[in-house]
Structures are given as structure tokens and as C-alpha cells.
Chain A
Amino acid sequence: MEAKQEKKLDLSPVLVPILSILVALIFGGILVFIQGIDPLLAYKVLFTTAFGSLDGIAITLAKATPLILSGLAVAICLRAGLFNIGAQGQLISGALASAWAGYTFVGLPALVHIPLALIFGAFFGAIVALVAAILKAYRGVHEVITTIMLNSIVIALADYLTSTPFKEPDQPLTRTPKIQDSARMPDLLGLPLGFFLAIALSITLWWIMKNTTTGFSIETIGRNKNAGWYAGISIKKTVILSMLIGGAVAGIAGAVETLSITGRFEPAFNAGLGFDGITVALLGRANPLGVIPAAILIGGMRASASTVQFEAGAAPELVDLLLAMILFFVTAPLLAKFFKNRKENVAMTSGWSN
């Protein structure tokens, strides 16, 4: 088997996701066909709406912005061997905190107000992740369960806060007041400023992972805990640090969404953005740069879901179905085996208490 090791450019990190997506679309098409919907029409509408025009692309990139960030939040933790399913809760916490900072502080210049609101988002996203990180580091509680539970807790808490203390006065709706104009993130070149922020964060984190000792510690722990321990890396510290980074990035995702798209917090907003981050991260192979194309693809699908319903009669949940299929085929090693026996899987399952 190993005789065929030629020195060729290894394209499998790109080819495997693309092939997986194609296979997923075929399977998804069959499932859609069962519903009596023409899958070719549905796909054509889906992709022309998302990528067929400049306006479409602008909307796609706006939708992709929070997904790049939530994908990063999951990806960085994956690098450390942690599965952060809690991006959703961290994102909501950040969205609410930035909305609060956005409407509470009055009279600040935009140059101060926007960063302040973003920091609020990052901080409160990180706080949520910190709970899971401490439980993981000091009590050995598996982060998948705690982060999922924290999602539900944060959603309930946000619901309570927006329905009572942070509620917009004299309004029947459960929502916070609108943020001040000084907190609104402007557009740049017809794209939300947040998009550039997301790209910048991706590149920064990619650089940190490649070139700093922090990045090295995270990678080492993710590959092999024992090796990290022998190398003198504090596992506890690294676990907490990577969860904090993940939580903060997810919090920024929520903050960007609040400050540039929604302008306030409402419990129904932000649904699914954090969960899509899981798909984005796995599709992007947990690479901080890989999440960008993955998020753009998924953002495009999300952006055109309602057009697909209008023109092809498929429920917007079609996208959920397709994403599930993509995730399945991306992670199932079926396709990867066509190329090579790559051993770069990060192992996460090592029991509940370790």
C-alpha cells in the first residue's frame, strides 16, 4: 500500500470536501425528489440566487459573516481536541451583551462604541465557554454535554432577560431596545464591516496556530494529551485558553450580527448560527482559513432558502437537510479513503472523565 507514495501536491483537503458536497447533493436530491419536488430546479435556484449576481453574492457574504466566526469558534476548539457544540449559546450571549452595550451607552463616538460593544460580546461569549472549560479542566466533565446544556440555559436566560429587565419599554414584543446609531457597524464596499473583521480574525488565528507557542500548545494537546504533558504543556491551561478563544469568537459572531444586521436582540434571532458553525468547522477541516469557503457556501444556501421555497416549492428546511447530508459525507471517511490514508484525525473521544 505504501509503495505508491508519490511526491505530489496533496489536493485531498480540497477535493474531499468538494466531492462530499457533490455526493451529499445527490443524496439530498433523492430525498427532495421523494417529496415531489424537482431537485434540479431547487438546486439551480439555490445556487443562482446565492452566487449568480453581485447583489446575491453580497447577501451571501453577509450571511456567511457570523458563520465564519462561529465556524472559527468550533474549529479552534477542535484543534485542541475539544468539541465545542456550545457556539450557539456563546453566540447568543454575545449578541445579547452587545445589544445591551449598544443601547445603554449614550453619546459615545462610533469609534469607541462599536469596539466596546464587540468587546462586550466577546467577553460574555467567553464567560459561557469558561463554565464548560473549567468543568472540563478541573472536573473532567465532557465539554459536549456541558456546552449543549449551556446552550439551553443561555437561551432560557436570554429569553428571561429580554422579557423582563432588558425589555424595550411600552412594547408588546419580547425584545431589547434598538441600539444607538453610534453602535451600528457600517458597510464597507457594499459589504458589512463584520465580514472583513471575520476574515481578519481567521487569518490572525491561522497565524497564531502556526507561529506561536500558544498555537503549538493547542495543536499538541489536540494531537496527543500525553505528549503535551511530557512536553511540559499545562493541559488545564490550554483547555481553558482554547475554550476562551472559541467562546470569545462565537460571542463576536453574535455581536456582529446584532450590531450590523438586527440592531437589537430578540430571542428568535440568531437561530442556528452557532450550530451551523459545527458544519462549517468540519467542512473546513478545522482549519481557520478553511472555514471561510465553508461558511460562504453555507451562507449562500441559507441566504437563498426562502427563494427556493418561493420558486421551487421546497420548504426552507431543505437547507438543514442538505447540511446534514454534507456533514455526514464530509466526516464519513468513505471519500477520504479514495485518496489516501491520512492520519490527521483529531481524537476527541477518550471517555467522559479524563
Chain B
Amino acid sequence: MEQLMKLRTSHYVILTFLVAFTYFYSRDGLVATSVLYTAIQFSIPLALAAMVGVMCERTGVVNIGIEGTMLISAFTAFFAGAILQDTVRGMFVGVFTGAMMGLLLALMAVNWKMDQIIAGVILNILAAGITSFYYRQNYSIPSTLNPIDLPVVGAWPILGPVLSFHGPITYFGILFILALWFGLYKTSWGLRSRAVGEHPSSADTAGVSVTKLRYINVTIAGAVGGLAGSYLALEAVGIFERGFTAGKGFTALAIMIFGRWNPLGAFAAALFFGLTQAVTNQLMIDEVVEIPPQFINMLPYILTILVLAISAGKVRPPAAEGIPYEKEKS
């Protein structure tokens, strides 16, 4: 029941979805499906990045380095894919890089008890420095990850072309989000993680190793960030540029808050962001609205601030987030 209450973000999604769909369908059915297809494409990296935030913060570690994690993973995924001429192996390199970034954050935040905001910013600046120094032009991957034609779903009217023919990371990502929701609320791992995020000393008393669990979760979350980075470089566009992630890691944090630290809520919020962007793009292409392109580029950022201004204060973050855990000495 409590979890259902938390899904109010989904109302925004359904509403935007219906309005956009009706509008575009009345003009051209093909456009309607392509807008929705693009919306999913836009939302997947945001959703995965938001999962990084959910996983970390639910165990009490603030991760503001998602941006850097995605950036450096996109970088290694792309260049590994290009050098090995193997996109799939590139993806694994990207995921591994992400996990290493997670481990580094855990080291700084859990072991060294650094201020977690500073630790995250360091991840971002490290990633920006490394990727821009080692960046080389004239590399290309053999192809983007092959899209998958879903067997039964693909044949459905209207929804078929929207849901089918996405890349493997998209489908895996959606499954992961569902699994994370299940894991957080229905398994003992989830119960322990949330306990560590809310009240670490009680969890400790109950025999849960706060340090170990934070390490594990932050590292896995890093790997998910690596997957999000790989998605951008290998599945969405197949290129890498300096500063490639363009603030998506920060938008993801807003999405996480908007989704109330709930994987499904955050997924819904990500869909809302993706949908808004896809609709605006289409309106631009149709020349329905004449907005300077700079304002279109601003849209996700303005939306992020608006969403935060509306939802922050109304939602409660995990109680112990951002506070390094010190065992009480008696």
C-alpha cells in the first residue's frame, strides 16, 4: 500500500503520455509511435542513472558522481569497443569501469569518511580530466548494439513498434529496474540495505555489517552507472565526445528524488523526462512551435529544477544518507 502511494509520479507520465499520443496520433499514427519509441530511448539512460542514486542512497551513501561514472564508462566502453572492434566486449569494459568508480566512491565515502558531496564531485572531475586527456579522434565502433525484435510483443498494434526493436541494454535495464524494486522491498538484502540507510546503528546491532553492505551496494550501483554510460556510447548513438553525458547524471538525481527513492517511481519519472523531450523534439521537427534550439536544449535542465522545487521538501530522503558510519565506542 505504502509503495502504491509512492507512485504518484506515474500520474504525470500517464497524463503526458495520453495527451502526446492523442495529439500525434490524430496527425499521423507513425509519428505517434516514433515519438513514444524515442521517449523510451531518452529515458533509459536517465532511469539507469537514477537507479545508481537509488541504490547508493538507500544504503546511506550520496552519489553525486553519477555523471562522472557515466562519462568515463561511456569513454572506456566506446574505445574498448573501437580498439577490440567488438561492441559487446566494449559494453563489459564500460560496466567494469563503472564498478571501479563505485568502488572508489565507497573507498572515499565509507573508508575515508570523506564528505560525500566532495567525493562525488571528485569522481566527476577525475572522469572529465581523464576522458578529455585520453580522447582521440577517428575511432569508431563496428556497429551499435543490435536491436532486438521482440517475438510476440513486436506484432502488437501501436504498442509493438513502440516497445520492440530496442537494444539489449534497454531490455536488460528495464528488467534490472523491476528486479531492484523486488530486491529492495521483498528480500532480506533489501531490508538490510534500507535499514543501513535509515538507521545504521540499529542495523549494526542486528548483525548487519554496515561497511560491507555499503561497499557492495555502491559498487554494484557503479556498475549500473557503467551500463548507463555504455548505453549512451554503444546503443544510443555509437560515438563518444568530450563532455558527452551533458548533465544526465545530475538530472538522474532529480529523477531519483521525484521518484521518491523508489525504483519504479524513478523509472516513471525518467519516462516523464524522456517523453517531454521526445514530444518537444517532434514539435520542433513538425515546426508547430518555433523555439530557438538553445531553449530546447535547456528543457531537461529547467525541468530538473522545477521538479526538485516541487518535490523536495515533500519527500523524505533516507535518514542516514550522507553520514559516514562510526561505530559507537562504549
Q: Which listed residue, A320, A324, A346, A353, touches B312 by the CB 8 Å rule?
A: A353
B247 close to chain A: CB less than 8 A:
yes
Which among B16-24, B81-89, B127-135, B173-181 touches the partner chain?
B127-135
B191 close to chain A: CB less than 8 A:
no
Q: Which listed residue, A148, A159, A333, touches B294 by the CB 8 Å rule?
A: A159
A35 close to chain B: CB less than 8 A:
yes
Which among A10-18, A118-126, A138-146 touches the partner chain?
A138-146
Measured between beta carbons, the chain B residues less than 8 angstroms from A273 are none
A160 close to chain B: CB less than 8 A:
yes
* Contact B305–A146 (Cβ < 8 Å): yes
Bound complex: CA A333 to CA B318 (Å): 26
Bound complex: CA A345 to CA B315 (Å): 28
Measured between beta carbons, the chain B residues less than 8 angstroms from A31 are 130, 133
Bound complex: CA A282 to CA B321 (Å): 23
Bound complex: CA A152 to CA B302 (Å): 9
Q: Which residue of A lies closest to B242 (CB)?
A: A317
A318 close to chain B: CB less than 8 A:
yes
* Contact B294–A157 (Cβ < 8 Å): yes
A348 close to chain B: CB less than 8 A:
yes
* Contact A352–B317 (Cβ < 8 Å): yes
Instruction: Please report the total number of A residues contacting B with Cβ < 8 Å.
Output: 52
* Contact A156–B118 (Cβ < 8 Å): no
Q: Mark A274-287, 1 if CB is under 8 A from B, else 0.
A: 01001100100000
**A240 shortest CB reach to chain B, Å:** 15
* Contact A353–B315 (Cβ < 8 Å): yes
Bound complex: CA A308 to CA B122 (Å): 25
**B98 shortest CB reach to chain A, Å:** 18
Measured between beta carbons, the chain A residues less than 8 angstroms from B309 are 135, 139, 141
* Contact A349–B62 (Cβ < 8 Å): yes
* Contact A156–B294 (Cβ < 8 Å): yes
* Contact A333–B308 (Cβ < 8 Å): no
Measured between beta carbons, the chain A residues less than 8 angstroms from B64 are 144
A166 close to chain B: CB less than 8 A:
no
Q: Mark A289-326, 1 if CB is under 8 A from B, else 0.
A: 00000000000000000000000000101101111110
Q: Which listed residue, B122, B294, B304, touches A160 by the CB 8 Å rule?
A: B294
* Contact A135–B62 (Cβ < 8 Å): no
Which positions 287-330 of chain B face chain A at CB distance < 8 Å? 292, 294-295, 297-298, 301-302, 304-305, 308-309, 312-313, 315-318, 321-323
Q: Which listed residue, A83, A140, A157, A349, touches B313 by the CB 8 Å rule?
A: A140
Which positions 247-276 of chain B face chain A at CB distance < 8 Å? 247, 250-251, 253-254, 257
Bound complex: CA A323 to CA B122 (Å): 10
Q: Which listed residue, B114, B135, B312, B322, touches A317 by the CB 8 Å rule?
A: B135
Which positions 129-175 of chain A face chain B at CB distance < 8 Å? 131, 135, 139-142, 144-146, 148-150, 152-153, 156-157, 159-160, 163-164
* Contact A348–B312 (Cβ < 8 Å): no
* Contact B112–A348 (Cβ < 8 Å): no
* Contact A141–B312 (Cβ < 8 Å): yes
Among B62, B312, B321: residue with most chain A CB under 10 A: B312
A259 close to chain B: CB less than 8 A:
no
Q: Which listed residue, A142, A145, A156, touches B298 by the CB 8 Å rule?
A: A156
A231 close to chain B: CB less than 8 A:
no
**A99 shortest CB reach to chain B, Å:** 18
**B252 shortest CB reach to chain A, Å:** 10
Which positions 110-160 of chain B face chain A at CB distance < 8 Å? 112-119, 121-122, 125-126, 128-130, 132-135
Chain A interface mostly: helix
Measured between beta carbons, the chain A residues less than 8 angstroms from B305 are 131, 135, 141, 145-146, 149-150, 153
Q: Which residue of B lies closest to A131 (CB)?
A: B305
**A254 shortest CB reach to chain B, Å:** 19
Q: Known contacts being A145-B254, A278-B121, A349-B322, is A153 close to B114, with CB within 8 Å?
A: no
* Contact B323–A349 (Cβ < 8 Å): yes
Q: Which residue of A lies closest to B113 (CB)?
A: A333
A212 close to chain B: CB less than 8 A:
no
Q: Which listed residue, B129, B133, B251, B302, touches A153 by the CB 8 Å rule?
A: B302
* Contact B129–A324 (Cβ < 8 Å): yes
Measured between beta carbons, the chain A residues less than 8 angstroms from B247 are 148-149, 152
Bound complex: CA A144 to CA B322 (Å): 14
Measured between beta carbons, the chain A residues less than 8 angstroms from B125 are 275, 278-279, 323-324, 327
Q: Which listed residue, A139, A328, A345, A347, touches B126 by the CB 8 Å rule?
A: A328
Q: Which listed residue, B129, B257, B321, touches A321 by the CB 8 Å rule?
A: B129
Bound complex: CA A159 to CA B126 (Å): 27
* Contact A164–B253 (Cβ < 8 Å): no
B108 close to chain A: CB less than 8 A:
yes
Bound complex: CA A327 to CA B129 (Å): 11
* Contact A140–B312 (Cβ < 8 Å): yes
Q: Which residue of A lies closest to B132 (CB)?
A: A317
Measured between beta carbons, the chain B residues less than 8 angstroms from A85 are 121
Q: Which residue of B lies closest to A159 (CB)?
A: B294
Among A144, A327, A349: residue with most chain B CB under 10 A: A349
* Contact B312–A352 (Cβ < 8 Å): yes
* Contact B115–A349 (Cβ < 8 Å): yes
Q: Known contacts being A139-B312, A145-B304, A351-B321, is A160 close to B292, with CB within 8 Å?
A: yes
Q: List 7 A-B contacts (CB under 8 A).
A: A139-B308, A149-B247, A157-B294, A278-B121, A320-B132, A331-B114, A349-B62
Residues of A within 8 A of B (CB): 31, 35, 83, 85, 131, 135, 139-142, 144-146, 148-150, 152-153, 156-157, 159-160, 163-164, 275, 278-279, 282, 315, 317-318, 320-325, 327-328, 331-334, 345-353
Given contacts A144-B117, A144-B250, 10 further A-B contacts (CB under 8 A): A31-B130, A135-B308, A145-B305, A149-B251, A164-B292, A315-B133, A323-B129, A331-B118, A332-B122, A351-B321
Q: Which 7 A-B pairs have the closest CB atoms?
A: A324-B129, A349-B322, A160-B294, A321-B133, A320-B129, A317-B133, A149-B301
